[in-house]
Chains A and B, each alone.
Chain A
């Protein structure tokens, strides 16, 4: 499924093997020796994928998380859910295409699905501002989540944004205020909430739909207080230091798990989610169903108490004995 136009530098050995395999597969008729060569190359390819993806560094992970072939919101809608009934407006200003909301079915569950969408074609990407939502997006999400809570539907949010949109209209319509309100609102909705970072977990724009009972991050996704480029620009005075910033910020799923900030890491197929949408969707679905079954055992009060405690205890500090 690798894109013909988009290549990651560290995947170079993989592309070369894929090319060789493709060439040999075109040979007709194939001798026993050709078949043997193809088999050997496939084995080599698997090993190559394994060794490259075993220890991606932080910046490489960011590159994978942003891969244009990586499954997006609409892919998961098709591959994970049995039905999606999109609900569009925020009943106030407009319909943000960067943040999508609607009823969805997942096995025995009826849920409210909320998620960022980056867009696939250039036209769609422009409509979606590359996944950067405006205040109307967060307002819409808040409205639909309240609706879900009213009828006891669990909420699933799929987070994939470089950040909330930085623009004049966004500021005029209260970007800071809606993100704040959305977090506050999510902290008190008495229905199960599962949040999964499927690609980019960019700062407040991510957290605006990120307050839940379980927070998971896909293996090659990232979640950060600021984009590596933004951090590099401020602290290193140049965007060229984004790889250093990514490393310093410890933004990968494994780091976040070790730091105790997220609940789960959902493993990706070998070589990343962009290589196998179906397998990725299957794994995500398994995770969601399992977690929904756990959370649906809890009363609203238990959910709210647990959710509060979960965020309450995040953030290490030193507490000296009172003098």
Chain B
């Protein structure tokens, strides 16, 4: 388990679109246009036609937010175990190996430190492609260590969340308890006067939304991200009515007062830097 996984950029887990071959072209989920993949890549995975913010891998996120070459990854030696010997249609232990191979990540998170326009920060990003970006013990532990270190080193903390899965079912109660563990670490960070900027990306749901992602001093969301506690399907099954247009989007959260600003991807770095300048100097 200690074997280092290849550090190469992970294969893009962009879903295969109907009739559109992967490779040169891809289809935008926002406007339906077929767009040149290269022009999308150059545009931080935003549609050149409609600015729809598409999936971005954790590694790409690091590159887009932190100053080039400044990311120092922490706690890379922590890997998941299968404490429940969980198995659905597939064994969790096998699922982990397959996901590691597919994404090039060890788990659904990268943590470490880096610079944002020459300001040193503690930084984490979850990758929604690794078991839905869900939080198990590794994500919980790496976040907690990051927060604890940010507390001692007095660093601003930036966590970019992307998780359709919330708390990872395959680790059962351990995943649920990570929500409490990380929140408790954030309470201490807060008491020590730390600045936490939480960035919500598509999707941020369930136990991730209901823990660290919602605890930022300042909360940014990328445009049109799906953000919420319960999944839309669960809600629909419970209340049996059609959900309103735009329900659980970033814009919906802004309107209801749960997000400070909606920030486009290409402005994220400057916006974070600006908030640090207001609050980060201690």
- List which B147-178 residues lie within 8 A (CB) of chain A: 167-169, 171-178
Judged by a CB distance under 8 angstroms, whether B140 is at the interface is: yes
B64 within 8 A of partner (CB): no
- Are A173 and B256 in contact, CB atoms less than 8 angstroms apart? yes
Query: CB-CB contacts of A295-323 with B at 8 A, as 1s and 0s?
Result: 00000000000011001101111111111
Partner of A179 from B88, B181, B229 at Cβ < 8 Å: B229
Contact A234 B137 (CB under 8 A): no
Residues in A whose Cβ lies below 8 Å from that of B78: 317-319
In A149-188, the 8 Å CB interface with B consists of: 164-168, 170-177, 179-181, 183-185, 187-188
Assess whether A223 is interfacial by the CB under 8 Å rule: yes
Measured CA separation A203–B176 after assembly (Å): 7
Interface centre among A181, A249, A315, A318 (most CB of B within 10 A): A315
Contacts of B190 in A (CB 8 A): 184
Contacts of B100 on A, CB cut-off 8 Å? none
Q: Is B176 in contact with A168, judged by CB distance below 8 angstroms?
A: no
Instruction: Look across to chain B and name the residue whose beta carbon is closest to the beta carbon of A312.
Output: B181
Does A102 have its Cβ within 8 Å of any Cβ on chain B?
Answer: no
- How many A-B contacts at CB < 8 Å in the complex? 207
Binds A, one of B9-17, B33-41, B53-61, B239-247: B239-247
Given contacts A183-B184, A315-B140, contact A248 B256 (CB under 8 A): no
Q: In the complex, how many angstroms separate the beta carbon of A176 from the nearest chain B beta carbon?
A: 4
Does B175 lie within 8 Å of A188, measured CB to CB?
no
Q: Is the CB of A259 within 8 A of B174?
A: yes
- Contact partner of B174 among A165, A172, A210, A261, CB < 8 A? A261
CB-contact partner of B179 in A207, A261, A312, under 8 A = A207
- CB contacts (< 8 Å) of B89 on chain A: these are 235-236
Asked if A221 is an interface residue, CB under 8 A from chain B, the answer is: no
Interface stretch of the complex, out of A1-9, A16-24, A114-122, A225-233: A225-233
A59 to B78, CA, bound (A): 33
Q: How far is the CB of B216 from chain A (nearest CB, A)?
A: 10
Q: Does any Cβ of A come within 8 Å of B116's Cβ?
A: no
Q: Is the CB–CB distance between A184 and B186 below 8 Å? A: yes
A180 and B210 contact, Cβ closer than 8 Å, known pairs A168-B244, A187-B180, A308-B184: yes
Query: Which residues of A have CB within 8 Å of B176?
Result: 203-204, 207, 223-225
Q: How far is the CA of A259 from the CA of B79 in the complex (A)?
A: 19
Residue of A nearest to B87 (CB): A248
CB distance from B202 to the nearest CB of A (A): 15
Q: Which chain B residue lies CB-closest to A239?
A: B237
Task: Report if A168-B247 is in contact (Cβ < 8 Å); known contacts: A174-B258, A176-B209.
Answer: yes
Separation in Å of the B114 CB from the closest CB of chain A?
A: 19
Partner of B172, one of A251, A317, A320: A251
Contact status A164-B229, CB under 8 Å: yes
B141 adjacent to A183 (CB under 8 Å): no
Q: Which of B91-132 contact A (CB under 8 A)?
A: none
A171's partner among B79, B84, B181, B230 (CB-CB below 8 A) is B230
Q: How far is the CB of A221 from chain B (nearest CB, A)?
A: 13
C-alpha gap A259/B136 in the complex (Å): 15
CB of A160, distance to nearest CB on chain B (Å): 16
Contact indicator B247/A320 (Cβ below 8 Å):
no
Q: Is the CB of A317 within 8 A of B137?
A: yes
Q: Judge whether B77 and A320 touch: CB under 8 Å.
A: yes
Judge if A256 is at the interface, Cβ distance under 8 Å.
yes
Instruction: Report the contact-size class of chain A (Cβ under 8 Å from the partner).
Output: 35 or more
Q: Which of A173-214 contact B (CB under 8 A)?
A: 173-177, 179-181, 183-185, 187-188, 203-204, 207-208, 210-211
Given contacts A164-B229, A184-B215, contact A224 B173 (CB under 8 A): yes
Would you call A184 and B187 a contact (CB within 8 A)? yes
- Residues of chain B with a CB closer than 8 A to A230's CB: 234
Determine whether the beta carbon of B167 is less than 8 Å from that of A171.
Answer: no
Pick from A168, A175, A236: contact of B239, CB under 8 Å: A168
A67 interface residue per 8 A CB criterion: no
A230 to B172, CA, bound (A): 13
Tell whether A254 is near chain B: CB-to-CB under 8 Å.
no
B185: A residues at CB distance < 8 A: 312
A250 at the interface (CB under 8 A from B): yes
CB of B175 within 8 A of CB of A225, answer: yes
* Interchain CA distance A173-B248 in the complex, whole Å: 11
B167 CB to closest chain A CB (Å) equals 5
**A204-B210 contact, Cβ under 8 Å, with A171-B230, A320-B1:** yes
B45 contacts partner chain A, Cβ-Cβ < 8 Å: no
Per the bound structure, the CA–CA distance linking A60 and B205 in Å amounts to: 30
Nearest-neighbor residue (CB-CB) of B236 within chain A: A166
B83 touches A (CB below 8 Å): yes
B223 at the interface (CB under 8 A from A): no
Q: List 8 A-B contacts (CB under 8 A).
A: A171-B228, A179-B229, A184-B187, A249-B172, A250-B172, A312-B185, A320-B2, A320-B77
Closest 9 CB pairs of A and B: A166-B230, A320-B2, A315-B137, A187-B184, A176-B209, A235-B88, A175-B229, A176-B229, A225-B176
Give residues in B with beta carbon < 8 Å to A.
1-2, 4, 77-81, 83-84, 86-89, 136-138, 140-141, 144, 167-169, 171-181, 183-188, 190-191, 206-207, 209-215, 227-231, 234-235, 238-239, 243-244, 247-248, 252, 256-258
Give me 4 other A-B pairs in contact (C-beta within 8 A), A168-B244, A179-B210 excluded: A165-B238, A176-B213, A250-B172, A259-B84
